[in-house]
Amino acid sequence: MERLQKILARAGLASRREAERWIVEGRITVNGSVVRKLGSQADPAKDSIKVDGKRVRPAASPLYYAFHKPPGVITTLNDPEHRPDLTPYLAHLGEKKRVFPVGRLDYNTTGLLLLTNDGDLALRLAHPRYGVKKLYRAKLSACPTDEDLAHLRKGIRLDDGMTGPARTRVVDKLKKNAWVEIEVQEGRKREVRRMFEALGYFVEKLIRIRIGSVSLGPLPQGELRPLSQIEIKSLKRDVGLERS
């Protein structure tokens, strides 16, 4: 017997967090009965488990992709407001290679997004507890002062508490503004934008260029590539799923 959210994540249908939301919303049935209680268990080999009336297929082989998210795209596979989402970019993979995004990128933020059907890895990569580092490149409305960069390195106060120390540096100083790199590991909502806004800077562009040891590299916007075995093992090591 396994928890329903784990079964759904392992089948490549959603992250565990999203699967929990589906359960609470009453979208899951086990042997014809709606299940709304988190922590409910089932046997994927014996029970009939359905999502919105569709039978959950057995767990697929693990899949891992890097995707370059364009601006103006919602990081979901089914947006209730019918905004542009990830579905068109993944359609060519087919039903047998269903994957879901690990974490989120803001609507206008571009860059590296990991996609997988490995629920255990996705859960840990997105959880602040495991401290997976994420590197961003931000174009600011002005060049930050050394004092402000020092504040970021120590941590600053946001409306939801203090941020952790962030590694940051100016990589390209322009006439009126600058490109800055910043590395964070907490994964709060709109964290990087809010950190700069708290210091009086507007983020004109934001690109995520690395998660853990996986880099965006030259991957074009809207394209995806399979992760290498070295990248997969490295990510698993980062979250304690692979021994060194």
Q: Give the active site residues.
A: 106
Query: What's the token pair of residue 35?
Result: 């299940």
Cβ neighbours of 96 (radius 10 Å): 10
Tokens of 169: 């540096």
| Exposed e or buried b per residue across 117-133, where buried means at least 16 C-beta atoms within 10 angstroms of its C-beta | bbbbbbbbbbeeebebe
Would you say the C-alpha torsion 6, 10, 11, 12 has a positive or negative sign? positive
Q: Find, among 75, 81, 79, 83, the residue nearest to 99 by Cα.
A: 75
Name the nearest CA neighbour of 42 among 70, 7, 71, 14.
Answer: 7
Residue 146, Ramachandran bin (φ over 0: left; ψ between -120 and 50: alpha; else beta): alpha
The separation between CA 7 and the C-alpha centre of its own chain, rounded to angstroms, equals 20
What's the one-letter identity of residue 220?
A: P
Cα–chain-centroid distance for residue 84?
A: 17
Contact 132, 138 (CB under 8 A): no
